[in-house]
Structure 1
Amino acid sequence: MSDQYEITVPALEINQGDRKIYCFAVDGKDLLDFTAVSRIGRSEGILRGYQRPEVLSHIRAIQRYLESPGAMLPNAVVLAFDKRVEFTPYRRRSPVAYSTPGELVIPVDLTESESQKPALLVDGQQRTAAIRDADVESFPVAAVGFLADGDDEQRSQFILVNNTKPLPKGLIHELLPGAVGHLPPRLAKRQLPAQVMTRLNVDEDSPFRGTISTPTSPDGYIKDNSVLKMIENSLYDGALYQYRDSETGLGDVDQMVLHLKLFWTIVENTWPVEWKLQPRKSRLTHGVGIQSLGYVMDATTEGTPVEMVVDLGLDKTLALLDEVVAWSSGTWKLGPQDERRWNGLQNTPNDVKLLTNLLLRALR
């Protein structure tokens, strides 16, 4: 067989509003010849790809099933095509206005790199890998394809297609900043905080650089959800609210990020040892510490434009907390009847409230 050829398959073009999708069948053994699996990663701080890494145990389970008698995969894989994939309608017209039968022509070039292939796998990564490895001569699968305008749209479609499945939250948080188009309300609400968090984790001058645990920052030790909650609290009722348009939900990300960098750099400088420790060794990098200090940031900088934050003397303000904090040793004196060892605080709403009140009382 030549390294360059075309796969031509019968297909149905379906109109969905202004978009068209293509339903067809293809041998699963051929999928990876023209389809790239764009696994998530970062290059020079820029997000590349969007697929979760293969789960080998799950793939092997599917593979064993495919090698058994009567195996069936009724769910369609979802592909994002570029403009090299063409649809040619049959001359015979369909009696249904929104569907048109025809042929889909997919170019295959086995010499191309992964990034040059004409299709990206949006959903069905593990099924495709299982078919690839299965000891069967062929295994046709149902497929649905759509033409995508670029990585941002592919990323958005990946989130939407997988919205009802248990996608890892960290993966969603990484994808949200670059997603475009309509998103479910709960995801749309997190898009701006996720944009800010991503900047904190990748900017070279950020105290959080590389410390937030995400799929592309696996060595990070601060939970992404803790940072997201801290940002969300401030965005909707704190210091970052001034940079946000409450009607559109959009905001000045650069100003937000700078405001956070200024405050948390002082946090890092005030407790440099505790800032480098993992949450099990330091409550400063634990969810309870991150959120409570976020409230301290709101209390001390709310309504202050970012260019004036440097004049607030926050280093002296945070130094006042030294008398009450027990980030990695000692005892938290939360109240007359409530004293706990340094690691006795947990990331619960009640403990976050108790620690926040302790810190704010010390400042007053």
Structure 2
Amino acid sequence: MSRANVTRKVMRLPALRIKQGDREIYSFAVDGKQLLDFTTVSRIGRGEDGELAGYQRPEVLSHIRAIRRYIESDGAMLPNAVVVAFNDSVTFRPSRRVNGQELATVGELHVPVDFDGDYKPALLVDGQQRVAAIRDAEVESFPIAAVGFVADDDEQRSQFILVNNTKPLPKGLIHELIPDAAGYLPPKYARRRLPASVMIQLNLNPEGPFFERIQTPTSPDGYIKDNSILRMIENSLFEGALYRYRDPIDGSGDEEAMVAHLEMFWSIVSDTWPDEWLSPPRKSRLTHGAGIQSLGYVMDALTDGYHVDHLDRAEIERKIKAITKISAWSGGQWRLGPDDTRKWNGLQNTPNDVKLLTNLLLRTVRC
């Protein structure tokens, strides 16, 4: 949203300013068809350098069509406010002297608008489907309620997660957003901030075994489920080999060492079973949730207590190769116990099957 060399007009919107501590929130009304004159949708993606850009999921066309039909019907009403994040070019002008005890101040929100260019001083945090429906609807205008605040990019991501905390946001989208989100996050998301950050680094390293193989919104061609990788990392962070790199007090950690530790072990896995590693879960249980989690426990058993700089790669390779004698990643049978023999794809991503496979693999590497 560059502000250089633009000729702007100012849109004056009746508004209420509400103070929350040191922050200000603006509640205002605007014609939904005018909203896109000064807001844009920040689509999630990654630049050439791998940096996260944006945070919004793609438009859901079926949802937009349904809302549009409703807007075009008699008596349509959208009472919920859309949420926008402004840059610091937006100003509020109170209409009268303010009493310091008042909860809200009446005034005008002055929003710069560049009708002839692409400058937009606000990003749409919540309500993109409703705004798209109003944009496409065959109505002359449709006034809506809006709430705005001033924030930078990282805080916008955090607010996007919080606003959608009670709505079904795709988990993959959340996993990509939380490492770069600033400020407060619900505990269930805060716990995954570090694992998600490590996972993204694994997926972005062109020299690592996971490069673009983990399926995320910015890596849609990946075939390993992000949740499988996250569970494997979480298990190791809180109870396994990666725990040594983590600060249990503030939840931070030596991410560089974690990534190196994971890539060392999983490069041995990918080298031991190259064809199975390059196959999707429906053709290989190695890249399936059961295989990823079980081998994660094997990594913990073989490397716990050692810094990545002091791991004996040759010894780990020897023990991993022992698994080839009993593995059935893409064909054959798993002999999980005296009375439990499964076809290679009979293993499911359930706690019981993960436990059975883990026990089999651990017995093998410990022989």
Q: TM-score range by the shorter chain?
A: over 0.9
Cα shift at 1:248: 1.0
Which of 248, 261, 269 is the aligned partner of 2:271? 269
1:283 aligns with 2:288: no
Alpha carbons 1:94, 1:101 under 8 Å: kept: no
Secondary structure at 1:64 match in 2: helix
3-state DSSP of counterpart to 1:228: helix
Establish whether residue 11 from structure 1 lines up as the match of residue 15 from structure 2. yes
Residue identity in the other structure for 2:330: S
User: Counterpart of 1:123?
Assistant: 126
Equivalent in the alignment of 1:76? 81
Out of 148, 152, 159, the residue aligned to residue 157 of structure 1 is 159
Change (3 A) 1:172 1:17: same
Matched, 1:107 2:107: no
Question: 2:28 is matched with which residue: 3, 24, 29?
Answer: 24
C-alpha distance in 1, partners of 2:287/2:104?
55
1:70-125 deviation digits (Å, cap 9, x = unpaired): 00000000000001111011124358523111100111103333xx4100000000
Deviations 1:324-353 (A, max 9, x none): 110000000001100000000000000000
SS in 2 for 1:73: coil
Letter of the 1:326 counterpart: A
Residues 1:85 and 2:85 are matched in the alignment: no
Whether 2:52 is the aligned partner of 1:47: answer yes
Deviates more, 1:306-315 or 1:350-359: 306-315
Partner of 2:143: 140
Distance across 2 between alignment mates of 1:132 and 1:6: 21
Deviation for aligned residue 1:311: 4.3
* SS in structure 1 at match of 2:27: strand
How far does residue 66 in structure 1 lie from its aligned partner after superposition? 0.3
Is 1:246 the counterpart of 2:245? The answer is: no
Q: Distance in 1 between matches of 2:75 and 2:335?
A: 65
Find the counterpart in structure 2 of residue 307 from structure 1: 309
Counterpart for residue 219 of structure 1: 221
**Deviation, structure 1 residue 308:** 1.2
- Asked whether the 8 Å contact 1:39–1:51 carries over to 2, the reply is yes
Q: Say whether residues 1:362 and 2:367 are aligned partners.
A: no
Structure 1: distance between partners of 2:100 and 2:153: 35
The amino acid that maps onto 1:198 is I
Contact 1:63 1:130 in 2 (8 A): yes
CA deviations on 1:199-237 (whole Å, 9 max, x unpaired) are 011112221110111111110000000000000000000
Structure 2 unaligned spans of 5+: 1-6
1:50 and 1:110 map into 2 onto residues whose CA distance is 25
Structure 1 CA distance for aligned equivalents of residues 116 and 210 of structure 2: 41
Q: Which amino acid in the other structure matches residue 74 of structure 2?
A: P
What is the one-letter code of the residue matched to 1:123? D
C-alpha distance in 1, partners of 2:220/2:24? 38
Alignment check: 8 A CA contact 1:207 1:261 kept: yes
Residues 329 and 32 of structure 1, relative CA distance in 2, 3 Å threshold: same
| SS of the residue 1:254 aligns to | helix
Deviation at 1:298, TM superposition (A): 0.1
The 1:96/1:134 distance shift into structure 2, 3 A limit, reads farther
Residue in 2 aligned with 1:338? 340
2:228 match: secondary structure = helix
Measure, in 2, the Cα distance between the counterparts of 1:93 and 1:193.
47
Identical residues among aligned pairs (%):
67
**Separation in 1, partners of 2:362, 2:46:** 38
Instruction: Please state whether the residue corresponding to 2:261 is helix, strand or coil.
Output: helix
8 Å Cα contact 1:80-1:122 kept in structure 2 = yes
* Partner residue of 1:62 out of 51, 67, 70: 67
Secondary structure, aligned partner of 2:55: coil
* Distance change >3 Å, CA 95–CA 242, structure 1 → 2: closer
Residue identity opposite 1:136 in structure 2: V
- Equivalent residue letter for 2:15: A
Instruction: Supply the distance in 1 between the matched residues of 2:346 and 2:295 (Cα, whole angstroms).
Output: 17
SS, match of residue 313 in structure 1 = helix
Deviates more, 1:41-50 or 1:126-135: 41-50
Distance of 1:225 and 1:94 partners within structure 2: 51
Q: How does 1:164-183 map to 2 (within 5 A)?
A: 164-183=166-185
Counterpart-to-counterpart distance in 2, 1:12 and 1:96: 15
Cα separation, 2, equivalents of 1:10 and 1:311: 67
Match of 2:4 in 1: none
SS in 2 for 1:23: strand
- State the TM-score, normalized to the length of structure 2: 0.96
Superposition misfits of 4+ residues, deviation over 4 angstroms: none
User: Is 1:33–2:66 an aligned residue pair?
Assistant: no
The answer (yes or no) to whether the contact 1:262–1:309 under 8 Å persists in 2 is no
